[in-house]
Amino acid sequence: MAYNYNQNEIKGNVHSLESFGLVDGPGVRYVVFLQGCALRCKYCHNPETWAGGGSQWTASQLFDKVYRYKQYWKENGGITVSGGEPLLQMDFVTEFFKIAKTKKVNTAIDTAGQPFRSDGEWIAKFEELMKYTDLVILDLKEWTSEKHIELTGKGNDNIKEMARWLSDHGKDMWIRHVLVPDLTDDENDLKAMSEFIASLKTVKKVEILPYHALGVPKWEKIGIDYQLKDAVAPTREQIEKAEQILNVKAYHD
């Protein structure tokens, strides 16, 4: 059954769609990548999502498209909205997830948390979105605000606040950290991050994402200077050391 839509329905700016995602939440996921992000991560592999643009969809149009792939999701798959930064388009994602929940589809958001605010209209909208969100996949990019600013252009106090909010409100989380040798692998920072994660009550999984340079051609294509030209992928030993510090094995999705 298709959902009816009209021209007054809110539209989302969509960058791209992936029908068979295997690393974006539990099971097989249909992944929607939205346009727009305020962070400027030095290792970003989707810099073309930073600005506006993309194709416009209503929530019902998009769900009609996505739901055709439901046979792949089985019992534990579903839909993940990523980016860019999905929290910049909360009204749209909320409407999209509302429709998904009428079909009992599992929903997840992959976010860096940067837009989070705990006051006023913003938090009210966030609370509404969380009613229809089963899982939040949260990137913790750096531990100290100073290093987070150096890496992304923005601080992270509000991101930590968002993680605490999710924990206090019983919302399941996966935590991810991109490991870049000599940049995001400081042992003291990882230990502090590990203690913070351990203080959260709803973390189901912790993942180390090894740095890769697959996004470099995208930077070159859009004419942006890539600042990590000398960065290398972490070794197996470096990954295992970070996983040990973050106590990855203690968390199970």
Contacts of 41 (CB under 8 A, 6+ apart): 141, 151, 152
pLDDT of residue 8: 64
Q: How many CB atoms are closer than 10 A to CB 58?
A: 20
> What is the distance between the alpha carbons of residues 110 and 19, in angstroms, rounded to a whole number?
16
114 assigned to some structural domain: yes
Instruction: Say which CATH number the domain at 111 has.
Output: 3.20.20.70
Total domains in the fold of the chain: 1
24 assigned to some structural domain: yes
CA atoms within 13 A on the CB side of 129: 23
Q: Is 246 a residue whose pLDDT tops 50?
A: yes
pLDDT of residue 225: 83
pLDDT of residue 99: 96
Q: Is 5 a residue whose pLDDT tops 60?
A: no
- pLDDT interval class at 14 (50, 70, 90): very high
Tokens 């305020």 identify what position?
A: 38
> What is the distance between the alpha carbons of residues 164 and 160, in angstroms, rounded to a whole number?
6
Tokens 């197996």 identify what position?
A: 236
110 assigned to some structural domain: yes
What's the pTM? 0.93
Lowest mean pLDDT, pick from 51-55, 193-197, 244-248: 51-55
Between 88 and 7, where is the model more confident?
88
- pLDDT interval class at 9 (50, 70, 90): confident
Question: Could you give the percent of the chain with pLDDT greater than 70?
Answer: 96
149 assigned to some structural domain: yes
1 assigned to some structural domain: no
Angle between helices 59-67 and 90-102 (to 10 degrees): 50
6 assigned to some structural domain: no
Pairing of strands 173-179, 135-139: parallel
Domain range for 225 is 11-250
How are the residues of the chain apportioned to helix, strand and coil, as percentages rounded to the nearest 5? 40, 20, 40
> What is the distance between the alpha carbons of residues 241 and 235, in angstroms, rounded to a whole number?
10
Please check whether residue 29 is in contact with residue 137, taking contact to mean a CB–CB distance below 8 angstroms: no
179, two tokens: 């490991």
pLDDT of residue 219: 74
> What is the distance between the alpha carbons of residues 142 and 137, in angstroms, rounded to a whole number?
16
- Vertex 66: Cα angle to 19 and 95 (nearest 5): 130
4 assigned to some structural domain: no
The DSSP symbol for 128 reads H
179 assigned to some structural domain: yes
> What is the distance between the alpha carbons of residues 176 and 212, in angstroms, rounded to a whole number?
15
Instruction: Report the mean per-residue pLDDT for the chain.
Output: 92
